[in-house]
Amino acid sequence: MIKRNRLLNRPPKSLEERYFTEIRPQLYENHAHHHQYGVRKGTTLAEHLDSACQFILTVSRIAEVPEDKRPLLLAATAVHDLNKLDTQGRNVKTLARNQEFLREQLEKACVLSFVVSKDDLELVRKLIERHSGHNVSDGARFLPEDPNIERWAAMLTAADLFDLGIPDAQRFRKLEKELTVAFGRSCNLFRISISEDKGYITALLLGACEEVLQKYGLNPLAIFPDGELFEGEALSNVDFTKEIAAVWQSKIDQVFGNNIERLVRATKDGIKVTHQAIQQNIEEVLVNVEALLDRKKAGYKSDKIAKDVTKWGEAAGADALIKAAELQLLPVNNAEEFAISEGLKAAYLSYREAGLSPKEVWDKIAHHTGISELQRTAIEPFNGQYGRPLFAAKAAVKGIEGIKEALQESFQLRKETTQISDETEVSEEMIAAVSRMVNLPFAIRLNGGNDLNAYVEANPRQRCSLGSTSTDIDELISDNMPPGTKVQAFSNRLPGGISAEPKRQADSIAALAYQLMAVGANFPAVKKQDPLYLHLALPKGSAPELLRIWRELLKQLAATNAEGGTVTVDELKLYKDNQLEFKANKVVGLALPKRPDFVHTSVIIPLVWGDVNNSLALLKSLRLALEISLSLDIGFAFTLSGNLEVEISANTVDDRIFGRVEGIPSALIRLLGNGQYKRFKKEETKEDKETLSAERILERLRCIGKLATSVASIQKADDCLYDLARACVRPIKLYYVLLRWTLREQDEPNLSVIWSRICEPLNTLLESFMPDENLLLTKYLKEAAQVAAEGKIWGSSFKRTAQAEPFTAFIAAIRSQKPYLGLDVIFAALVQQYHTRLDRIREHHVGATKYEQVKRYYELLRKLYEEVYSGRPEKFLSDQKTLEAAYLFFLEEARKQLKSQSEDDFVDTTTTV
């Protein structure tokens, strides 16, 4: 198993924290590859013990077990399957009564420290022995004992049954029976699940469900990637949909309440205010609008405004211009009037959002700003949104104050139109979204035919660019949509159409989900680039306490950047030492969530890498995703995607798929596989060679990171890493890339030193790609390098060109091969010529022994040429640089082995003497 990081490095404060920090990692170290059978087939013993331990921690807290006894319940649970820990096939009862064996297993699981006295050990024994449902079979049945033992044994039995591989209905009945004994009261289980995960908005929805159900006496029992399991005495037969929707709406409003400046935006069509901003604080919205008007005033450009005046004046006609001039409706000609005209436009847009007609809008604007009735009639021919503000600014005698009055009234109208009543304070749209997204106990289901009809009957121009086509569709510009969202209709690009940006159609909830992400994640201050999204899901059956610990960890990581921006990793430590050390960054890294309630069954972390190509961004993101998800104390399934939304099933470990990567480029498929990964290397099978393990992919990326930092500076490590990743299409090319980068960084590098740095990660990486299709090629090259090292067959110095001299002579001979000369003649000439060359450059003449060595050397190269390249010079010469680089590194390896052998022989001789 590869060495994995730990994310929870602080000293544990509670039993739960101690479990996740110390005990859980040890369970996976000991039993991650111990597979189970029967009804537990498909899970490892480590996963079963982990599930049971998390369950016992939750249940014992709900049942208010004394704090001095909870560690003993945890200790018993951590080793409760003693028969699976024994190599001799003995049963649980026998093993539980073997104190030496029991203590040994408790120590291996890091829980022996909980068992202080003999009484503690006896309690652990009783719980283990009774958990499987057997009757008490010793003399204890005739002696008085703590009546709580029966309750605690029922808890352990329920923990053992919790991950049983049977249908939920049967499993829940078994659990309810045991928990009724454990709690000493009636116990029923209720599960809620979500149909789609839209990120932060889904996390807020699950938080609202939890808040409402806890109000009705239900306790969270376990968390799943697609929902949550609750327990309680009973649940009244009521529909919680409206109440959950109200709490959900309030949670969303709280998020936007601190981000009004992001929801009041200046566009080329005027200042626009979103519905979420109005729901929060109208006074704060007005302050932001006034600030934008001041900015408009400061950016006044007379020539640009003159063009707009001409354009909209001509559109109204000469008669309208003359009549307007007579009533002092003159176009704006200074910055102050321009700011007023923009304020009029903002009021117009806001009133229109409230559903008023253009005539009704301008009647209200005229009333608030002091425009007379005659002037109001005179500006009627002008365009309501663009023309009238330009010509009515001088007539708005109340100025900015009048505009603020109009805006305030429009905001109030908009707020009233989105409320059902004072009682619910939530829209029908939110209620419908809750019914569609969450499966609740006793909830009244919506008719799915409505959504189907909306999709079938939708106007083609209203097909959604984001989300599903439904009855609630919003028209949004690109800033309110995820980067790269495509436009479905291009009608305004047809001849005669306007030149404005085409609108994107979006399901209102999907658009709101993106806007929540935009204001809720710590994105960098610079203009956002297309991020990759890392979806991390809590494992099936996670304890609610793990969610709390996970939230605290993310909050702690986000606090690394005190300014509230992205957090990145120290790449030098990551690439060289495989260590995760987070630090603040203004431009790149993880845009962690700003609020803990954005994290529930899963969390979405946008990853931004600045100005790099998509493949490099994918490599860096995947390395980080694997380091986090494979950490010993977290172990979260992950999905790496360019999409904000992914299927719920992609975040589970069903079918043993632990991680998924969407959109792998063809150049990286050899390195990264098909994008679906099992968790451990031992789960890979010969039958399914396509599905690799997350451990293997992490091992490969770690090797590439070490190679990149070994031959390139940290500033250029990313470029080198990308070249190495692409070279994995044909692993033999790695030698050429490494040599090229070495020569790029150093004119005359010491290849021996370089090889000592790269040989281990390079060999590990090459072994990962076995079986290697270049096996015969590397065999002959290595044998030739071995002969060269033994016979010192190289040039007159230790420079790179001299070391490769006999091999480059072979390449030159193939390049100049004549059709009338056979290979016998060519290689005979090579042997003779290079033997003569060695005789000339050596201090002492070389004889027949050296001749035989040179002959053996070129015989191996001839086999390489004939058997691997079929004697085809064009095929061989296309690989000449790759072969030369590989040969140089093989020569260094052969020298290293010879030196090691000579040192060993010297030690043996000295010892004998």
pLDDT digits (tens, 9 = 90+) for 468-518: 545 555 555 555 555 545 455 444 444 444 445 556 666 777 778 888 888
Query: Phi then psi for 507, rounded to 5 degrees?
Result: -60, 135
> CB-based contacts of 603: which residues, under 8 Å, 6+ apart?
203, 535, 536, 550, 554, 593
Section 770-798 average pLDDT: 83
Listed range (618-622, 817-821, 908-912) with the worst mean pLDDT: 908-912
DSSP 505-541: EEEHHHHHHHHHHHHHB---SSPP---EEEEEEPPTT
Q: Which pLDDT score, from 0 to 100, does residue 422 have?
A: 38
Q: Give the Cα separation of 109 and 105 in Å (integer).
A: 6
* E strand segments, 65-131: none
**C-alpha dihedral (213, 217, 220, 221), degrees to nearest 10:** -140
**C-alpha dihedral (749, 753, 755, 759), degrees to nearest 10:** -150
Q: In what order do the strands lie in the sheet with 582-585?
A: 582-585, 566-569, 589-590, 602-608, 532-537, 637-641, 659-661, 676-678, 692-693
Section 81-108 average pLDDT: 85
Given a cut of 50, whether residue 362 has pLDDT beyond it is: yes
Label residue 598 by pLDDT band (50, 70, 90): very high
Cα 283 off chain centre by: 38
CA distances for 418 relative to 204, 429, 500, 548, 793, angstroms:
20, 9, 29, 35, 86
Given a cut of 60, whether residue 425 has pLDDT beyond it is: no
Q: Judging by DSSP bridges, how do beta strands 659-661 and 264-267 pair with one another? A: unpaired
Q: Which pLDDT score, from 0 to 100, does residue 903 have?
A: 65
Given a cut of 60, whether residue 693 has pLDDT beyond it is: yes
Q: Which pLDDT score, from 0 to 100, does residue 270 have?
A: 86
Given a cut of 90, whether residue 714 has pLDDT beyond it is: no
- CA-closest candidate to residue 518, choices 568, 609, 593: 593
Q: Which pLDDT score, from 0 to 100, does residue 501 have?
A: 54
DSSP 149-198: HHHHHHHHHHHHHTT-SS-HHHHHHHHHHHHHHHHTS--EEEEEEES-B-
Using the structure block, give the residue that is written with the tokens 């519905």: 275
CA distances for 261 relative to 294, 766, 819, angstroms:
15, 53, 78
Given a cut of 50, whether residue 849 has pLDDT beyond it is: yes
Given a cut of 70, whether residue 633 has pLDDT beyond it is: yes
Q: Which pLDDT score, from 0 to 100, does residue 494 have?
A: 46
More confident of the two residues 276 and 595: 595
> CB-based contacts of 450: which residues, under 8 Å, 6+ apart?
471
Q: Which of helix, strand or coil describes residue 90?
A: coil
Q: Which pLDDT score, from 0 to 100, does residue 98 have?
A: 85
Section 16-44 average pLDDT: 84
Q: Which of helix, strand or coil describes residue 464?
A: coil
In contact, 675 and 661? CB cutoff 8 Å: yes
Q: Give the Cα separation of 529 and 569 in Å (integer).
A: 19
- CA-closest candidate to residue 241, choices 419, 448, 425, 440: 440
Asked whether the CA dihedral 812, 813, 814, 818 is positive or negative, the reply is: positive
Q: Give the Cα separation of 427 and 812 in Å (integer).
A: 80
Asked whether the CA dihedral 392, 398, 401, 407 is positive or negative, the reply is: negative
* Angle (CA) 371 377 379, round 5°: 80
> CB-based contacts of 452: which residues, under 8 Å, 6+ apart?
none
Q: What is the pLDDT of residues 230-285, one digit of tens each?
A: 998 877 677 788 889 888 988 887 787 666 776 787 877 888 888 777 876 788 88
DSSP annotation of 772 reads P
Q: Which pLDDT score, from 0 to 100, does residue 505 have?
A: 66
DSSP 386-402: THHHHHHTTT-TTHHHH
Given a cut of 80, whether residue 460 has pLDDT beyond it is: no
Q: Which pLDDT score, from 0 to 100, does residue 877 have?
A: 92
Q: Give the Cα separation of 411 and 401 in Å (integer).
A: 15
Label residue 465 by pLDDT band (50, 70, 90): low
Q: Give the Cα separation of 810 and 532 in Å (integer).
A: 48
Paired tokens of 181: 């004994």
CA distances for 353 relative to 274, 415, 417, 552, 569, angstroms:
9, 10, 10, 41, 45
Q: Which pLDDT score, from 0 to 100, does residue 498 have?
A: 47
Q: Give the Cα separation of 486 and 315 in Å (integer).
A: 33
Section 661-685 average pLDDT: 88
What are the beta bridge partners of residue 607?
A: 532, 590
Given a cut of 60, whether residue 444 has pLDDT beyond it is: no
Given a cut of 50, whether residue 41 has pLDDT beyond it is: yes
Section 725-732 average pLDDT: 92
Q: What is the pLDDT of residues 816-848, one digit of tens each?
A: 888 777 888 988 999 999 888 888 888 777 788
Q: Which pLDDT score, from 0 to 100, does residue 705 have?
A: 94
- CA-closest candidate to residue 529, choices 611, 600, 646, 440: 611
Section 650-677 average pLDDT: 80
Q: Which pLDDT score, from 0 to 100, does residue 496 have?
A: 47
Q: Judging by DSSP bridges, how do beta strands 659-661 and 637-641 pair with one another? A: parallel
Amino acid at 124: V
Q: Give the Cα separation of 404 and 398 in Å (integer).
A: 10
Label residue 878 by pLDDT band (50, 70, 90): very high
In contact, 285 and 278? CB cutoff 8 Å: yes
- CA-closest candidate to residue 803, choices 894, 878, 725: 894
Q: What is the pLDDT of residues 551-562, one digit of tens each?
A: 999 999 999 988
> CB-based contacts of 40: which residues, under 8 Å, 6+ apart?
48, 163, 164, 165
**H helices, E strands: number in the chain:** 40, 17
Q: Which pLDDT score, from 0 to 100, does residue 478 have?
A: 52
Q: Give the Cα separation of 195 and 443 in Å (integer).
A: 14
Angle between helices 200-215 and 241-257 in degrees, nearest 10: 130
Asked whether the CA dihedral 311, 317, 322, 326 is positive or negative, the reply is: negative
Amino acid at 293: L
Helix (H) or strand (E) holding 504: strand 504-507
Q: State percent of the chain over pLDDT 70.
A: 86
Q: Which pLDDT score, from 0 to 100, does residue 654 have?
A: 46
Using the structure block, give the residue that is written with the tokens 């090459």: 766
Asked whether the CA dihedral 841, 846, 851, 852 is positive or negative, the reply is: negative
Q: Which pLDDT score, from 0 to 100, does residue 5 have?
A: 76
Q: Give the Cα separation of 666 and 671 in Å (integer).
A: 10
Q: What is the pTM of this model?
A: 0.77
Q: Give the Cα separation of 475 and 489 in Å (integer).
A: 12
Contacts by 551-559, CB closer than 8 A, 24 or more apart: 551/596, 551/599, 552/596, 553/7, 553/8, 554/592, 554/593, 554/596, 554/599, 554/603, 555/596, 557/582, 557/590, 557/592, 558/522, 558/592, 558/593, 558/594
CA count, 13 A, side-chain hemisphere, 63: 28
Q: Give the Cα separation of 706 and 762 in Å (integer).
A: 9
Listed range (65-69, 342-346, 609-613, 870-874) with the worst mean pLDDT: 609-613
How high does pLDDT run on average in the chain? 83
Given a cut of 80, whether residue 565 has pLDDT beyond it is: yes
Determine what percent of the chain falls in helix, strand and coil, rounding each to the nearest 5: 60, 10, 35
Section 417-436 average pLDDT: 64
Amino acid at 770: M
Given a cut of 80, whether residue 141 has pLDDT beyond it is: no
More confident of the two residues 474 and 109: 109
Helices (H), 424-578: 428-437, 449-457, 508-520, 544-558, 571-577
Given a cut of 60, whether residue 121 has pLDDT beyond it is: yes
Q: Which of helix, strand or coil describes residue 289?
A: helix
In contact, 86 and 165? CB cutoff 8 Å: no
